Structure 1
Amino acid sequence: MTSSHRTGGEEELAAAKKRLGLPHIVVICGSTRFMAEMAEADLRETTAGRIVVKPGCDLKSPHALWSDPVEAEALKARLDDLHRAKIRLADEVLVVGDYIGDSTRAEIAYARSLGRPVRFTHPEVDPK
Structure 2
Amino acid sequence: MPDRPEIVCICGSTRFLHQMRRANRDLTFAGVIVVAPGEADELITDEQKVALDTLHLRKIDLADRVLVVNPGGYIGESTRREIAYAHATGKPVSLTDPVPSDQWTLPGAHG
Structure 1 counterpart of 2:11: 29
Structure number with larger C-alpha Rg: 1
Question: Which residues of structure 2 form unaligned runs of 5+?
Answer: 107-111
CA distances 1:82-113 after superposition (whole Å, capped 9, x unpaired): 00000000000000023101100000000011
Aligned length: 100
Structure 1 counterpart of 2:74: 99
CA distances 1:40-90 after superposition (whole Å, capped 9, x unpaired): 0001111111000101224xx535xx3xxxxx1110110011000000000
Normalised to the residue count of structure 1, the TM-score between the two structures is: 0.72
Structure 2 counterpart of 1:88: 61
Structure 1 counterpart of 2:105: 127
Question: Which residues of structure 1 form unaligned runs of 5+?
Answer: 1-17, 67-71
Q: Which runs of 4+ in 1 moved over 6 A?
A: none
Residues 5-16 of structure 1: pairs in structure 2 closer than 5 A: none
Normalised to the residue count of structure 2, the TM-score between the two structures is: 0.82
Percent same amino acid among aligned pairs? Answer: 50
In the alignment, which of 20, 25, 46 is matched to residue 73 of structure 1?
46
- Whether contact under 8 Å (2:74, 2:99) holds in the other structure is no
Higher helix share: 1
2:38 pairs with 1:62: no
Partner of 2:31, secondary structure, is coil
- Whether contact under 8 Å (1:28, 1:53) holds in the other structure is yes
In 1, the alpha carbon distance for the partners of 2:48 and 2:98 equals 30
Partner of 2:34, secondary structure, is strand
- Whether contact under 8 Å (1:105, 1:127) holds in the other structure is no
The alpha carbon displacement at 1:124 in A equals 2.4
